[in-house]
């Protein structure tokens, strides 16, 4: 009986979440007096509150020669703040049933808290989040410990062909742009506590922030929380972006490794966030390599020839031009044959585009699975945070399915011709004969 009731409750929750997703997400937006952008979704389904603060403070803002600054700054941010040491933060979060999360990627650094929405619980959680944002301690011992941990992780990653391929790929795609800078054991080991504090002081500012709140609170309560998080931050200014990436001529990079499997990455800088080519590329890529076993790459590379267990493709739009990437693993002895077939599939797709049947299948999958992207407050938070940080239209989620359905075969062909230029493709192979 208990199991049956549990299953019933689970089904009800899923149904409610799906209906909510289909009904759309109402995003409220305002700019705080400090210049921060705030995005709020009222959700009364669960007595929970999710808050995420994003800063333009990712690895693209690492100083030259100091790669790893952004990541190490973020990883030490919540390990001591104000009068709270690392242990006190962990214990106080546990006492109220809250969690801290976030991280740093190429464009942004984020700090998030998930808490019960009851005032006494959320106020305590928000106080910890505010403390972490405004007064990180960067204790010398903690910094040295995290440096050692990061260095060990980087050294281990340098032994793995997949990691080696990924780093080489980004370096080859962005040889003169910060996107191509890679943290090394040496660059991280040389970082100082003062450099982390300086990165925080420059980039963790109100004018450089985007705040997203999703949960069981009202608009006035959301405004109060946002202002409390921003009040102690320096006003600062928005981060200055570097010059856009310049696409380098296509080339081939081969790196030795004793692994039995060759790791292959093919791609080029292709698209930035907010570009109108996004939806044609999204729909078209489902047919090319984003649709799993029904994609052309899987059919030709895996099913027909057995060159790889898995092969994929995707576009990763960033604040500046993010990559298009094809990836696969294969026996090192057949790496060149696998690359030839992969390039052939891509060339044919660029010429033909998807068939009418492939286009319809792609649209059905992308629209049919869309509600699953919004079936929890955390997923709504993630999506709205992207909208806020990258300045996408507030109705981006509401129009997602319509934008997918509007794509034509010609749209796909034209978008791919603009964004995927065979002569500029970079091929990185690790462990090829």
Residue with tokens 């790459």, as numbered in its chain: 297
For the chain, the first-to-last Cα distance in angstroms comes to 60
How far apart, in whole angstroms, are the C-alpha atoms of residue 289 and residue 291? 6
The torsion angles phi and psi of 267, rounded to 5 degrees, stand at: 175, -170
Strands 209-215 and 37-42: parallel
Per-residue pLDDT of the chain (433 residues; tens, 9 = 90+): 445 434 433 433 444 444 444 457 999 999 999 889 999 999 999 999 999 999 999 999 999 999 999 999 999 999 999 999 999 999 999 999 999 999 999 999 999 999 999 999 999 999 999 999 999 999 999 999 999 999 999 999 999 999 999 999 999 999 999 999 999 999 999 999 999 999 999 999 999 999 999 999 999 999 999 999 999 899 999 999 999 998 888 999 999 999 999 999 999 999 999 999 999 999 999 999 999 999 999 999 999 999 999 999 999 999 999 999 999 999 999 999 999 999 999 999 999 999 999 999 999 999 999 999 999 999 999 999 999 999 999 999 999 999 999 999 999 999 999 999 999 999 999 998 8
Q: What is the DSSP letter of 77?
A: H
Q: Which of 83, 62, 84, 81 is nearest to 71 (CA)?
A: 62
Same fold, 25-230 and 252-373+390-430: yes
How far apart, in whole angstroms, are the C-alpha atoms of residue 223 and residue 110? 19
8 Å CB contact between 115 and 98? yes
How far apart, in whole angstroms, are the C-alpha atoms of residue 423 and residue 285? 19
8 Å CB contact between 106 and 177? no
**Looking at the domain that runs over 252-373+390-430, which CATH code has it been given?**
3.30.830.10
**Looking at the domain that runs over 25-230, which CATH code has it been given?**
3.30.830.10
Domain boundaries, given as residue ranges, for the chain = 25-230, 252-373+390-430
In degrees, rounded to 5, the angle at the alpha carbon of residue 432 between the alpha carbons of residues 430 and 433 is 155
Q: What is the DSSP letter of 371?
A: G
């Amino acid at each position: 009986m208990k199991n049956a009731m549990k299953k019933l409750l689970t089904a009800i929750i899923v149904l409610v979440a799906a209906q909510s997703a289909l009904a759309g997400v109402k995003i409220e937006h305002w700019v705080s007096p400090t210049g921060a952008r705030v995005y709020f979704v009222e959700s009364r389904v669960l007595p929970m509150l999710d808050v995420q603060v994003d800063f333009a403070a990712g690895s693209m803002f690492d100083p030259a020669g100091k790669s790893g600054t952004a990541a190490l700054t973020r990883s030490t941010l919540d390990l001591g703040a104000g009068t709270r040491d690392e242990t006190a933060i962990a214990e106080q979060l546990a006492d109220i049933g809250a969690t801290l999360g976030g991280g740093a990627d190429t464009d942004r650094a984020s700090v998030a808290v998930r808490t019960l929405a009851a005032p006494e619980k959320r106020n305590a959680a928000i106080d910890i989040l505010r403390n972490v944002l405004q007064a990180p301690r960067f204790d010398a011992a903690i910094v040295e410990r995290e440096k050692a941990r990061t260095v060990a992780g980087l050294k281990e990653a340098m032994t793995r062909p997949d990691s080696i391929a990924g780093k080489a790929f980004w370096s080859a795609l962005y040889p003169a742009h910060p996107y191509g800078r890679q943290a090394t054991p040496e660059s991280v080991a040389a970082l100082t506590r003062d450099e982390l504090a300086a990165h925080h002081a420059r980039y963790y500012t109100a004018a450089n922030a985007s705040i997203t709140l999703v949960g069981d609170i009202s608009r006035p309560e959301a405004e109060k929380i946002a202002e409390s998080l921003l009040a102690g931050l320096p006003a600062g200014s928005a981060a200055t972006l570097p010059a856009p990436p310049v696409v380098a001529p296509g080339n081939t990079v081969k790196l030795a490794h004793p692994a039995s499997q060759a790791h292959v990455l093919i791609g080029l800088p292709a698209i930035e966030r907010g570009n109108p080519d996004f939806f044609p590329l999204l729909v078209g890529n489902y047919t090319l390599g984003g649709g799993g076993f029904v994609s052309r790459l899987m059919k030709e590379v895996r099913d027909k020839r057995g060159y790889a267990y898995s092969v994929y493709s995707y576009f990763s739009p960033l604040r500046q031009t993010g990559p298009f990437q094809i990836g696969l693993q294969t026996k090192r002895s057949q790496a060149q044959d696998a690359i030839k077939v992969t390039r052939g599939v891509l060339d044919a797709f660029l010429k033909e585009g998807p068939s009418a049947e492939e286009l319809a299948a792609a649209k059905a999958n992308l629209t049919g699975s869309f509600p699953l992207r919004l079936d929890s407050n955390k997923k709504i938070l993630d999506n709205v945070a992207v909208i806020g940080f990258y300045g996408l239209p507030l109705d981006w989620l509401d129009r997602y399915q319509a934008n997918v359905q509007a794509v034509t075969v010609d749209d796909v062909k034209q978008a791919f011709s603009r964004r995927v230029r065979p002569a500029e493709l970079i091929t990185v192979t690790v462990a090829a004969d």
